[in-house]
Structure 1
Amino acid sequence: MTAGPNKTITPVEIGGKLVGPDQPVYVIAEIGLNHNGDVAIAKQLIDIAHEAGCDAVKFQKRTPEISTPKDMRDVMRETPWGTMTYLDYRYRVEFEEEQYTEIDNYCSKLGMHWFASPWDVPSVEFLANKFDVVTFKVASASVTDLELLTAMKNTGKPVILSTGMSTIEEIDKAVETLGTEKLVMMHATSTYPMPAHEANLRTINTLRERYGVPVGYSGHETGLQISLAAVALGAVTVERHITLDRTMWGSDHSASLEPGGLRHLVRDIRIIEEALGDGVKRVFEGEIKPKARLRRVG
């Protein structure tokens, strides 16, 4: 399955915004489970993403009794709400229709996109039928769940496919299932936090050439440099986890950006977009006077 380096990459429309080459980078602030089951925290994170200039916030949606592995359900876990089974913990942090209605209304007022990574088929139906989300995100852990991918494709909505912890052969099967017409891919490495030597950013170009679709970057590193380098290499969308405080309880907080980091990320992405230019060599207006003053011949 190789598209070839000369294939034209067609942008994908997500909620009225085009995601692809020569378009503004689509910046996704992943809230995930960093709301810790509290809608008030979720709204604070939405505000932070909106103020930073992000295009969308992303959550995770599960039906815990389906998506929680059987051998994990009765494992005891220490939480801020006491010791409980892993299944009970999953229910404790899961938003349902009432909470997502609040989120939907809140994002609508701000003009923000919101969507989620569904981890099971009922969650796909919930997001599509109850809220008509603008897109679906395939979590890296779900790349091989072809039943889930088929359910997303059948909604007719665009799909963003993360590729962490996946082989090329596994990604091939996922792409065969989803098709390429409304597909955006995300290069990712699913280490939390991710060390620089595992970033392998040149894979962005590998995926673009192999599948002929827009390719972005989903980052789990600390800091901003790797995400910004991904933009310079042509990533059309960037996703980073966000948190109020990296020291908060929860598995994703330590690899997340705090408010100041998110603001700097979006600011620097927009500067890089402007700096990349169109690739046409020219003499700029600011060079004319130095040229007249400094060039001796010609």
Structure 2
Amino acid sequence: MNSVVDIGRRRIGEGEPVYIIAEIGINHNGSLDLARKLIDGAIFAGADAVKFQKRTPELCVPRDQWRLERDTPWGRITYLEYRHKVEFSYEQYRNIDRYCRARGLDWFASCWDEEAVDFMEQFDTPLYKVASATLTDLALLSKLKATGRPIMLSTGMSEMWQIQQAVDLLGPDKLMIAHATSSYPCPPEELNLRMIPTLKAAFPNIPIGYSGHEVGLAPTWAAVTLGATFVERHITLDRAMWGTDQAASVEVMGFHNLVRNIRDIERSLGDGVKRIYPSELAVMKKLRRVNSNEPSHANS
């Protein structure tokens, strides 16, 4: 049986309710007001947490892309300028911290570079996320491990040996692994949800979950039936909004349906032990014509 990771007020792992993360990421487009609305939407939907992304643009954007221009809501600006536009300051994150704590909602971030870890250490978040793109950044993984906080490792664009390398560095304690495919949106034939039981077999002492970027909700529900102990989906107010992740996100009412049906699936899975339920007794009395005798276990 997989271990359970404590993340403050909650636990993630086998036997625990599925931990549902609404990833805001950069869908706030640099607006604190929009971030608050997305937090409100996640609370309405019943999510357990929201997640942001934190980067130091000069470290995360390759230098040959700094001056590439693109059309944005702020006009035509360089890619480096755009990356700064969607980064929140300390005061903005402090506002987010207060806003979430007042509502009893967990919040955390994926840190894309070592300076981002130092920045986020100013806040007492319950865990960190390793984005798929940074799974092979061993220096960053070491920095995150040194914080002592639980770590959620996303595995898109990686092979098994790379995942194993990251696990060896991070160690199994306080570690969770999320199956993911890093295309936005991801076509169904590339979701490969059977990797969830594969990862559970490969890492039996680590909670396994799912980070999805598909269009629609059914694959995430399937991930839960396959044993995902946590799930993460991007949330948006409108999939037609400007932004690279909006099309692969779930609108608030869709997220509400996602959470509601995950809770139904949890209740429906049961324990795998066959029994006659009290609700069946009246039906059995009415419809069963022949009652069988319990087989004898006497030695022959």
User: TM-score category by the smaller chain?
Assistant: over 0.9
Greater C-alpha Rg: 2
Aligned: 1:262 with 2:247: no
CA distance in 2, matches of 1:99, 1:69: 26
Equivalent in the alignment of 2:26: 33
Runs of 4+ in 1 over 3 A off after TM superposition: none
CA distance in 2, matches of 1:297, 1:73: 78
CA distance in 2, matches of 1:209, 1:179: 17
Equivalent in the alignment of 2:71: 78
Aligned: 1:155 with 2:161: no
Amino acid at match of 1:159: I
Deviation per residue, 1:106-144 (Å, 9 max, x gap)? 00100001000000001111112x102110000000000
Deviation per residue, 1:198-254 (Å, 9 max, x gap)? 111110011111122110000001111000000011100010001010000010000
Q: CA deviation at 1:69?
A: 1.3
Secondary structure at 2:115's aligned position in 1? helix
CA distance in 2, matches of 1:71, 1:133: 34
The number of residue pairs the alignment matches comes to: 290
Secondary structure at 2:236's aligned position in 1? coil
Aligned: 1:137 with 2:119: no
Aligned: 1:251 with 2:244: yes
Equivalent in the alignment of 1:51: 44
Secondary structure at 1:50's aligned position in 2? helix
CA distance in 2, matches of 1:107, 1:288: 47
Q: Of 233, 239, 264, which residue of structure 1 is paired with 2:232?
A: 239
Amino acid at match of 2:190: E
Q: Of 248, 259, 274, which residue of structure 2 is paired with 1:281?
A: 274
Deviation per residue, 1:147-189 (Å, 9 max, x gap)? 0010000000000000011011111111111111110110001
Q: How does 1:5-24 map to 2 (within 5 A)?
A: 8-24=1-17
Q: CA deviation at 1:23?
A: 0.4
What RMSD over aligned residues (CA atoms) do the two structures have, in Å?
Answer: 0.7
Equivalent in the alignment of 1:5: none
CA distance in 2, matches of 1:72, 1:261: 35
Contact 1:74 1:85 in 2 (8 A): yes
Contact 1:186 1:216 in 2 (8 A): yes
Q: CA deviation at 1:297?
A: 1.4
Mark the runs of 5 or more structure 1 residues left unpaired by the alignment: 1-7
Contact 1:15 1:113 in 2 (8 A): no
Equivalent in the alignment of 1:181: 173
Secondary structure at 2:250's aligned position in 1? coil
CA distance in 1, matches of 2:96, 2:116: 16
Secondary structure at 1:101's aligned position in 2? helix
Amino acid at match of 2:253: G
- The more displaced of 288-297 and 154-163 is 288-297
Q: CA deviation at 1:191?
A: 1.1
CA distance in 1, matches of 2:57, 2:250: 27
Deviation per residue, 1:3-46 (Å, 9 max, x gap)? xxxxx311101122110011000000000000000000000000
Q: CA deviation at 1:296?
A: 1.4
CA distance in 1, matches of 2:98, 2:43: 14
Aligned: 1:167 with 2:159: yes
What TM-score, normalized to structure 1? 0.96
Amino acid at match of 1:284: Y
Secondary structure at 2:261's aligned position in 1? helix
Q: CA deviation at 1:266?
A: 0.4
Amino acid at match of 1:214: P
CA distance in 2, matches of 1:245, 1:69: 30
CA distance in 2, matches of 1:270, 1:229: 13
